[in-house]
Amino acid sequence: MKTDVIIVGGGIAGLVCARQLSQAGYTVVIFEASPHFGGRIATDEKSHTERGARVLHDWPTHPLHSFLVEAGLQFTQVDYERTEIVDTHGNPLSDLEQDSVNELALEFAGALQETAEEQPQDLSVMDVADHVLSQAEELTSTERQVIDWLLSCRELETGLNLHQASYQALSAPDDLLNNDHLETQDVIPVGGMQPVLSHLARGLDIRLSTPIATVHWNTEKPSVITSSGMQHSAHAVVITVPVGALQNNTVEFSPCLPAPYQDAIESLKMGAEVRVTLDYPDVQWHEKPHFFGLLSTDKPAFPQLINHWPTEHLPRLTAVAAGRHAELFMKMTDDDLIAHAQKAMQTISQSPLPTPAGAVVTRWGQPPYINGSISAVPVGVDPMVRARLAAPLERLIFAGEAATMHHPGTLEGAVYSGIAAATYLERLL
Ligand SMILES: Cc1cc2nc3c(=O)[nH]c(=O)nc-3n(C[C@H](O)[C@H](O)[C@H](O)COP(=O)(O)OP(=O)(O)OC[C@H]3O[C@@H](n4cnc5c(N)ncnc54)[C@H](O)[C@@H]3O)c2cc1C
């Protein structure tokens, strides 16, 4: 059968792009390196644990909203307001204390913004924070812990070590579609991300465990060569391979990519994130909070615990670390990470936690095919590199969470990029 479009990478960007093109009557083949499709939407099959994305942001303006609602999926709202901050002794902050944390967070964010605006050039988030802290009146030890926790939460946004993360990029609005005036929520699909992927993948030609090693692109009939040496050609090729994998040279481009594309790939940075999900026989912590924020005397190792009870009705907690701590955790054994996570979880429990019935450890930062958590703009790099990467090279198009200016680094951004690539090809072919 003749192929119109080859898509390299079966994550959400690839699936969305393939779906739109197939519905428009094109013949599309997706090549996926791993034995599963979904990429960074990865559900652990045995325990139904989300190793990666779990939340659909900006509901109902999310680009998958109509499709998933029509497919009959149900959704549960995530409530970040329901974050319980816990002090170093394991006690939840009182309402009054929580109010002062909110006030301090607002004040700190304002001071960061003001300081960054005064600087002639982009600084790292940590440099801006250090500058603010050097000017601040002496902080109490709790205030200092709160600031450290707030900074760790910023690391969760990009996965980047704050010494590397660009303040300018992190504070820029990530919604160029101008939807900010609309009231939106974050939701979790009932049954997790697997039904989302299954609906998107239905009827598509996906070749699993088929890594693409080479792309010949500068021709009317571009082609790809799999790692086992099979060649396939089409009228266009869409690359949705994460920049972390492209930086690792898992795919060779022949001829070499033009400098703006090469520069864009090299200048973005992949974050690191480690997640440890532990299942307990029952809930031995406060049931209602959707998240727990853990204050610590040192820089918090796991700043956040996700409570799966209110949203999924599971006696399950996930400890999350990104940036500096994830870089350290990356080298630890599973047993050590589980012990570390259990220690963090113990601080929110009213009684000694039993040995978990199940554990899933995920390190987003290891080669070869994803090689990081999400793409982020490091200090000194122009955030517009994402737009440069997304600009079509005639019959070669880059898509995926890195190649978009709309909510980059998210599932939503990956979907927008897949739609943009498909729409361009519908006009071209
Ligand atoms: C821990 C974590 C939590 C997250 N949480 C959220 C969240 O709650 N909400 C949200 O909106 N976003 C979240 N994200 C971000 C979101 O998961 C990603 O932005 C999105 O899934 C990226 O989709 P993609 O299609 O661009 O890339 P991917 O999903 O990475 O897909 C790319 C695919 O390409 C394949 N590939 C690589 N090399 C080759 C090759 N040579 N040949 C063939 N195939 C190849 C890979 O195996 C992969 O399947 C999270 C990310 C992480 C890591």
Domain positions in the chain = 5-53+63-71+190-269+371-428, 95-171
Q: Is the Cβ atom of 40 under 6 angstroms away from ligand 1?
A: yes
- pLDDT at res. 8: 98
Ligand 1 pocket member 32 (CB < 6 A): yes
Going from the Cα of 413 to the center of ligand 1, the distance in angstroms, rounded, reads 11
Residue 284 sits at φ, ψ, to 5 deg, of -115, 35
CB 376 within 8 A of CB 271: yes
- 400 Cβ closer than 6 Å to some ligand 1 atom: yes
Is the CB of 245 within 6 Å of ligand 1? yes
CA–CA separation, 196 vs 109, rounded Å? Answer: 35
Quick count: other Cβ atoms within 10 Å of Cβ 296?
18
The CA 406 to ligand 1 mean position distance, Å, reads 16
pLDDT reported for residue 231? 98
C-beta contacts of 207-210 below 8 A and 24+ residues apart: 207/29, 207/30, 207/31, 207/32, 208/10, 208/32, 208/34, 208/35, 208/36, 208/37, 209/32, 209/33, 209/34, 209/35, 210/31, 210/32, 210/33
Top CATH class, 5-53+63-71+190-269+371-428: alpha beta
Q: Quick one: average pLDDT of 173-193? A: 75
Q: What share of the chain is helix, strand, coil (3-state, %, to 5)?
A: 35, 25, 45
State the pLDDT confidence band at 181, using cuts at 50, 70 and 90.
low
Would you say the CB of residue 242 lies under 6 angstroms from ligand 1? yes
Q: How far apart are CA 178 and CA 350, in angstroms?
A: 45
Contact 231, 223 (CB under 8 A): yes
Our answer on whether the CB atom of 167 is closer than 6 Å to any ligand 1 atom is no
Checking if the pLDDT of 299 tops 70, the result is: no
167 CA to centre of ligand 1 in angstroms:
24
Helices (H), 136-288: 141-158, 167-171, 194-201, 243-247, 259-267
From CA 300, how far away is CA 368, in angstroms rounded? 29
Structural contact between residues 13 and 63, judged by C-beta atoms closer than 8 angstroms: no
Cβ(53) to ligand 1 under 6 A? Answer: yes
For residues 16 and 21, what is the distance between their CA atoms, to the nearest angstrom? 9
> Ligand 1 pocket, 9 CB below 6 A?
yes
Q: Which residue's CA lies nearest to atom 14 of ligand 1?
A: 53
- Closest residue by Cα to atom 27, ligand 1, is 11
Per-residue pLDDT tens for 280-293? Answer: 999 999 999 999 99
Pocket lining: 55 vs ligand 1, CB cutoff 6 Å: yes
Q: How far is the CA of 37 from the centre of ligand 1 (A)?
A: 10
Whether this prediction's pTM lies above 0.85 is answered by yes
Task: Find the angle CA(115)-CA(327)-CA(407) to the nearest 5 degrees.
Answer: 55
Residue nearest to atom 52 of ligand 1 (CA): 52
Question: Strand 28-31 to strand 5-8: parallel, antiparallel, or no bridges (unpaired)?
Answer: parallel
pLDDT at 162 over 90: yes
d(CA 80, CA 153): 12
What CA–CA distance (Å, rounded) separates 124 from 139? 22
CA of 366 to the centre of ligand 1 (A): 13
Q: For ligand 1, is residue 251 a contact (CB within 6 Å)?
A: yes
Ligand 1 near 365 CB (within 6 A):
no
- pLDDT (tens digit, 9 = 90+) per residue, 363-422? 999 889 999 999 999 999 999 999 999 999 999 999 999 999 999 999 999 999 999 999
How many angstroms does the Cα of residue 323 sit away from the middle of ligand 1?
18
The protein residue with its alpha carbon nearest to ligand 1, atom 19, reads: 410
Task: Give me the pLDDT at residue 301, please.
Answer: 80
Cα–Cα distance between 300 and 361 in angstroms, integer?
19
Local confidence band at 170 (pLDDT 50, 70, 90 cut-offs): confident
Measured CA to CA, the distance from residue 308 to residue 276 in angstroms comes to 13
Is the previous residue joined to 303 through a cis bond, with omega within 30 degrees of 0? no
Helices marked H in 90-227: 95-118, 125-135, 141-158, 167-171, 194-201
Q: Are the C-beta atoms of residues 78 and 188 closer than 8 Å to each other?
A: yes
H/E stretch holding 322 = strand 316-322
Kindly report, residue by residue over 229-267, the tens digit of the pLDDT.
999 999 999 999 999 999 999 999 999 999 999 999 999
SS3 state at 229: coil
41 lines ligand 1 (CB under 6 A): yes
